[in-house]
Amino acid sequence: MTMILYGISNCDTVKKARRWLDEQGVAYRFHDVRKDGLDAARLQSWIDALGWEKLLNKAGTTFRKLPDAEKDGLDAAAAKALMLDQPAMIRRPVVEGVDGVSVGFSAADWQARFAA
C-alpha cells in the first residue's frame, strides 16, 4: 500500500509535510481533498480511527467564519457534514499508511514513523 497524504495543496502545513517526505525519500501519493474530493466513507473511517474532534480544525479560518449557531452543540454527524461540505475544515495533513491513519505534521514524529 502506498502511503496517501490528504490535504489542500496551498496549505502551509501540507507543503512542509510534502517537502519533508520528499527530502526523506518517502514514497507517497498526494490527494487534494478540495480538488479531488472526499467521499463520506473515507471520512467516516478517519472519524472512526481518530475521532471527529481531532479531525475538525476549529482554529482554521473556514470554521471561525461559521455562524455561532453552527459551531455550538456540534456532534459527530454535524461535524462530518461540515467537513464533507467544506474539506478545508479538516485538520491537515491526514496520512493513511500501512500503520494506520494520522492527522497533523511533526517532523520528529514522522522521523520515527516513516524514516528508514
Grid coordinates of 100: 494506520
Catalytic residue among 5, 6, 7, 11: 11
CA distance 105 to 7: 11
> Phi/psi at 66 (nearest 5 deg)?
-65, 150
86-111 burial by CB neighbour count: b if 16+ within 10 A, else e? ebbbbbbbbbbbeeebbbbbeeeebe
- Domains recognised in the chain with CATH numbers: 11-99 (3.40.30.10)
Q: Is 93 a catalytic residue?
A: no
Q: For every one of its 116 residues, what pLDDT tens digit does the chain have, with 9 covering 90 and above?
A: 689 999 999 999 999 999 999 999 999 999 999 999 999 999 999 999 999 999 999 998 889 998 888 888 899 999 999 999 999 999 999 999 988 999 999 999 999 888 75
What pTM, to 2 d.p., does this model score? Answer: 0.92
